[in-house]
Amino acid sequence: MLRMVICCGGGMSSSVISVQIKKAIEDKGWEDEISVAFMPLLFLVKHQEEFDIAMLCPHTMHHAQEMARKNEIQLPMYVIPARLYGSMNLEYLREDAEDILKIYAETKENPLHFPGEKFLEVKRNTSHRRWIKKHPQAVQD
């Protein structure tokens, strides 16, 4: 089972999205495949052992970088690009989480980003995996 947590600054935006995500999990019948929790980023340090990956709201980027610099978080953190955060499609979120876990296993980089992707310049509105299939030139080493 993939155990994800979506974190925002104070819990407000992630709690709004939680209704949409939980309904999508039920609609797809993925209750045994994926679990998603929601909490303010500050709580992640205390609860990180409960999750495989933290998917962070866009406005938490600087705080996530500070947490990583202090080595407070021992699981992969991925800051969701703003363009994706608004739509929050469960399939795209899951695909990005799976791919981030693979990259983290190799690099231990935190917060993580996809190769060739600059956070403020992300133009995709789908998972990175699907974007690269359509735009292979977008990957830069």
Residue range 84-93, pLDDT digits in tens: 777 778 999 9
pLDDT for position 141: 44
1-132: CATH architecture: 3-Layer(aba) Sandwich (3.40)
pTM recorded for the entire structure: 0.88
- The CA angle 54-33-39, to the nearest 5 degrees, is 30
Ranges of H-type helices in the chain? 12-28, 44-47, 61-69, 82-85, 90-107, 128-134
